[in-house]
Amino acid sequence: MKLLSIVIPAYNVEKYLADAMKPYLEMSDPQRVEVLIVNDGSKDKTLEVARRYEEKLPGIVKVIDKKNGGHGSTINVGIQKATGKYFKVVDGDDWVDTKALEKMLEYMKNINSDMIATAFNMIYEDIQKEEEVHIRNVEYGKEYEFSVICEKIEYIRMHSTIFKTSVLRENKIRLDEHCFYVDVEHDLLPLKWVKTITFYDEVFYQYRLGKSN
């Protein structure tokens, strides 16, 4: 079993996929990761570009081509197809930090929490600004009972969340399709079944904002 499945919802992101895929090309040992690029009926060359990475990293990158169904539909397909112990969504115009990813994988070998929440970086392209977002009022590296900690923490955003794949699949988590802004569904629907959570302070996800298009 892979340690981590990364699902990349991809709709018309041909010019961003190089950034999204760079970390997996740079990793010293990418075999612990599965990258599912879900092409959501793109009208540009997203599928063609994705296939190139599938050829470069066989057994690691898998391309799923489907009719357009919206962001939620790509995540639903990812939940069905993922084989990793943990499940992470990384949008096609965002990426993860390579060193943070490798540290995360080492860390994942020794934990079994239902959910992991990490720090992330907000990158505002229009004003050339970056802002790190850390989860406050928690001890990093410690596993908590979710029922005990949930009232002490702020809302955990999609860019922070990593769920155990079995929590999503066994409880039939399914997001709305043909719909915008399903991030909140992704973040909240699984929480009913999350018993344990670990907080991890590496700045993992790189969230691109302020794009003109």
More confident residue, 210 or 86: 86
Distances (CA, A) of 141 to 105, 108, 176, 198: 14, 11, 33, 6
Q: What is the pLDDT of residues 113-171, one digit of tens each?
A: 999 999 999 999 777 889 999 998 999 999 999 999 988 888 899 999 999 999 999 99
pLDDT at 180: 85
- Could you give the CA distance from residue 6 to residue 87 in angstroms, rounded to a whole number? 6
- d(CA 82, CA 33) in angstroms, rounded, equals 11
Span 86-91, average pLDDT: 98
pLDDT in tens, 10-36: 999 999 999 999 999 999 999 999 999
